[in-house]
Structure 1
Amino acid sequence: MPPWIAGQARNDKVSGFLKIEGLAKTFVPGKPVFDNVSFTLDQGEFVCIIGHSGCGKTTILNVLAGLDQASAGHVFMDGREVVGPGLERGVVFQSHALMPWLTVRKNIAFAVESRWPEWTRDAVKTHVEKFVAMVGLSGAIDKKPAQLSGGMKQRVGIARAFAIQPKMLLLDEPFGALDALTRGTIQDELMSIVRETHQTVFMITHDVDEAILLADRILLMSNGRETPSGYAPGGIAETVTNTLPRSRNRAGLHHLPGYYELRNHIVDFLVSRAKAGEDH
């Protein structure tokens, strides 16, 4: 077995900073999108989930964020069950979700003031400016979203999520709508910030190279499917451990020993097995 394959996802109870037990979601009776999903994240770990559209990735993230309810199963973070949204979880979506009538500064300040209502105006100002600088937007801090490019808007969203200092960051394809050059630049910035802050991150992506660049582990998710014996729900088919050096960067990624084997394994899953639901 290749060294990066951790094997089939476990269905028994798991432990960790984030603990998902037996998660299921059904929209159409008798045809659950996914069933019996169990996995864990350690504190400071970066985990990506990858799979075809419709397999339930975003639904899982929304359940972790407290924005949706599972049909079955439980989510625990830091020993407490997740039952709704909370400021201990920062979320960044593909759409920037900024308030268009507020400047960059005020968009982030709104979140900071919600997190720490007792802070003085000067404390909020200093905190906001720190995180705006972290994503390289100090020169645009008093601009409104309409004056920003798509990549700049996503940086604001990332700064806002980090500024509330969440215990966990949830990313739903935050770079999917960006051009390749901008996406690569923000990936590098995100990786640098995560390493500096030791942030725990759960991220959805369709981009295999993005997952290999950013993640410590990659969850491969299969689609629900019709079988001769009935309907089989989707789920976590395989967990892949990223064995490439953690100091990797985008420019040198394809030069690292083992990169192509790892990439080919994930692509093979997506092309040949994710929809068929075959075991590896």
Structure 2
Amino acid sequence: MTKPLISIEALARRYPKHGGGETTVFENVWLPIEKGEFVCLIGHSGCGKTTILNVLAGLDQPSGGVVIVDGREISGPSLDRAVIFQGHSLLPWMTVMGNVAFAVTSRHPHWPKDKVRAHCQKYIDVVHLTGSEHKKPAELSGGMKQRVGIARALAIEPKMLLMDEPFSALDALTRGSLQDEVRRICTETEQTVFMITHDIDEAMLLADRIVLMTNGPEAKIAEIVENTLPKDRSRADVHKHANYYALRNHLLDFLVTRSKNFAVEIAAGAYDPRRPPVVRPGERAPAQPPPPIDAPRAVSA
């Protein structure tokens, strides 16, 4: 059995409370992520979603547990893990090409300029910014800035791409367009992605698996939802698939009701944080074999 590319094991984060003691944001979080998989994490504010992402990025240290990436424990930031934040975080004095090249030369400091430029151009073309290479961030729209951030992250060819609600500040049309672009790019490049979102429809469109967190403090992974929509889905037709409403209603019901009362579910049944329940909404249960047919009985006259 092959090991997952990323393994989150017994992860916990605690902060000291004013006056003594600690507040546990989340604890005993276990999650494997396979190579090429797109995983979305959903939960209410305060459950520690961004903290988990920061631990994966090496920007924060857990209070307990470890994160293993490709067989090695995370101990700090690395170019093997690229982050796309809510804001574009571009260097304002650099052009599109310059921003992407800055990341590439950090990854490959010995590459000649021609090779760096050709490599950057490849990813600028991927995000459909061809012709904007010499523009600075002030000359770009919000959506174009986020495209530069995506190109910059992909250009270092990371083992894991971390996305912290990267489209939340964009208008609906731009957000939808970028969602389709990200799905296309990640599918074509088989990029491993861990993404935080509050948007159920975004998670349904992008993710292979959707991880549901209970409310904080002491948040846990309540269950893992496997996306039952077709792999070739797109934003324009995703709502036409047979499993769409079953999947959406399941996620909505969790966020509105079950996330608040999950402690009751834990108390009522066997909950193993190392193996959270895995569900596939809308998928039909396996067909049961028909009952045996009794032998015909003799009919008395």
2:244 equivalent among 259, 263, 269:
259
Structure 2 CA distance for aligned equivalents of residues 277 and 23 of structure 1:
19
CA contact (8 A) 2:59 2:77 kept: yes
**What does 1:1-16 align with in structure 2 at a 5 Å threshold?**
15-16=3-4
TM-score (norm 2): 0.84
Q: Give the secondary structure class of the aligned counterpart of 1:38.
A: strand
> Residue 187 of structure 2 aligns with which residue?
195
Specify the SS of the correspondent of 2:202. Answer: helix
Match of 2:68 among 56, 70, 76: 76
Secondary structure of 1:210's counterpart equals helix
Q: Deviations for 1:78-137, whole angstroms, at most 9, x for unmatched residues? A: 000011000011110001111111111000000000000111100001011110111011
1:53 CA drift (Å): 1.1
1:244 deviates by 1.0
- What is aligned with 1:6? none
Q: Distance in 1 between matches of 2:188 and 2:175?
A: 20
Q: Counterpart of 1:271?
A: 256
Give the Cα–Cα distance (whole angstroms) in 1 for the partners of residues 177 and 206 of structure 2: 13
Equivalent residues in 2 for 1:1-280, closer than 5 Å: 15-27=3-15, 28=17, 29-225=21-217, 233-278=218-263, 279=265
TM superposition score normalised by structure 1: 0.91
Distance (whole Å) between structure 1 residues aligned to residue 237 and residue 199 of structure 2: 17
User: Which whole-Å deviations, capped at 9, do the CAs of 1:39-63 have from their partners, x for residues lacking one?
Assistant: 1000000000001111100000000
Cα distance in 1, alignment partners of residues 214 and 141 from structure 2: 35
Q: Deviations over 1:220-271 (max 9, x none)?
A: 011125xxxxxxx111111000111111110000000111010000000000
**Distance between the aligned counterparts of 2:42 and 2:105, measured in 1?**
34
SS at match of 1:108: helix
Structure whose alpha-carbon radius of gyration is higher: 2
Q: Distance in 1 between matches of 2:91 and 2:66?
A: 32
Contact kept? 2:100, 2:120, Cα under 8 Å? yes
Decide which moves more: 35-44 or 134-143: 134-143
Structure 1 unaligned regions, length at least 5: 1-13, 226-232
Cα distance in structure 2, aligned partners of 1:276 and 1:63? 27
Letter in 1 for 2:213: M
The Cα shift of 1:35 comes to: 0.5
- Aligned mates of 1:54, 1:139 — CA distance in 2: 42
- What's the C-alpha RMSD, in Å, of the aligned pairs? 1.3
Say whether the 8 Å CA contact 2:48–2:216 is kept in structure 1.
no
For structure 2, the residue ranges without an aligned partner over 5 or more in a row are 267-301
Contact 1:234–1:277 (Cα < 8 Å) also in 2: no
Read off the aligned partner of 2:124 and give its amino acid letter. Answer: V
Which letter does structure 2 place at the counterpart of 1:181? L
The C-alpha deviation readout for 1:160-216, integer Å capped at 9, x for no partner, is 000000011000000010111000100111111101110000000000000000000
The amino acid across from 1:72 in the alignment is G
TM superposition shift of 1:31: 2.3
More deviation in 25-34 or 73-82? 25-34
2: CA distance between counterparts of 1:136 and 1:268?
A: 37
Aligned residue type for 1:242:
N
The CA deviation at 1:15 is 4.7
CA distance in 1, matches of 2:13, 2:220: 10
Identical aligned pairs, as a percentage?
Answer: 61
| Rounded Cα–Cα distance in structure 1 between residues aligned with 2:125 and 2:151 | 9
Residues 104 and 142 of structure 1 are in contact (CA less than 8 Å); yes or no, is this contact kept in structure 2?
A: yes
